[in-house]
Amino acid sequence: MNRMQKIAWFNLIVTSLALGLSIAAFGVAYFIFGLPTYRAAGGFGFIGIMGLSGLSPVLFRKDKSKVQFDERDTAIQRKAAIVAYSFFWLLFVAAAMTPWFILGPNGNITVNYLPWMVFGGMFTVMFLQSIVTLNEYGWKGKDNE
């Protein structure tokens, strides 16, 4: 596998783990321990695991002895970014407009919603970028890479 594939796999695992653990923790706190929703939502603290993706440049260092990136890699990265950000914008606008439509223009919403929008956006971008990158390169290693 090339460096970009490894980074994509790493990000995919990290984001999936973060979301999976968050939902599991919320479910356990809400359904098993019977905590109220706002307290059970603390389970989403596991979303902080996504911060590990910031380590990918350190974990997967560039090998300076050979060419790492050509036009094909650039095109793949560009396509992955375009797909990820297109979906991000759809979700971002939907997340911004939905409370406005439901609660009305004079309504109020908890300020906690704003950081969740940021985390949701980061998750969407990282997850989709990784999926598209792996889909374009192939999910497994190839001998010619």
Contacts with another protein, residue ranges (CB under 8 A): 78, 81, 85, 92-93, 95-97, 99-100, 103-115, 117-118, 121
Nearer to another protein, 13 or 93 (CB): 93
Nearer to another protein, 1 or 120 (CB): 120
The C-alpha atoms of residue 69 and residue 4 are separated, in whole angstroms, by 9
Phi, psi of 109 (to 5 degrees): -135, 150
Instruction: State the minimum distance, in angstroms, from the CB of residue 36 to another protein.
Output: 14
Instruction: State the minimum distance, in angstroms, from the CB of residue 21 to another protein.
Output: 22
| The total number of residues written for the chain in this structure | 145
Is residue 44 within 8 A of residue 86, CB to CB? The reply is: no
